[in-house]
């Protein structure tokens, strides 16, 4: 359900909850019955906390301009030593290419 805003000439702003995409251009005012025209307002994103707004902005920015890094984050990894090859494996059949 979405909240749609309407403006009645008699009672002023009226909010109505309707399924998304079903809001008509005018409705009857719930208080007085007069026609109320739909008004369009900005989304209420400014009411979110700072961390949520920062996450939204970072997501929008990374869609077009991803961060470029030269190395993975954290401490550098140590390379582990490989075990010496087993001579028995040399006698195994090789797959045909």
- Other beta carbons within 10 Å of 84: 6
Residue 6's pLDDT is 95
Q: Whole-prediction pTM value?
A: 0.45
- Which DSSP string corresponds to 13-65? EEEEEE-TT---SEEE-TTT--EEEEE----SGGGS-HHHHHHHHHHHHHHHS
Residue 75's pLDDT is 65
Distance between CA atoms of residues 40 and 48, nearest Å: 20
One digit per residue, the tens of pLDDT, for the chain of length 97 reads 788 999 999 989 999 999 988 999 999 998 898 999 999 877 766 667 888 888 888 888 877 777 777 777 776 667 777 777 888 888 888 888 7
Residue 46's pLDDT is 62
């Amino acid at each position: 359900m979405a909240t749609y805003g309407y403006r009645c000439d008699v009672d002023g702003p009226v909010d109505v909850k309707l399924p998304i995409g079903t809001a008509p251009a005018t409705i009857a005012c719930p208080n007085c019955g007069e026609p109320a025209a739909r008004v369009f307002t900005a989304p209420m994103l400014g009411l979110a906390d700072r961390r949520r707004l920062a996450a939204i902005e970072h997501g929008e920015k990374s869609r077009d301009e991803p961060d470029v890094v030269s190395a993975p984050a954290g401490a550098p990894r140590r390379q582990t030593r490989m075990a010496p090859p087993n001579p028995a494996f040399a006698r195994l059949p090789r797959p045909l290419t």
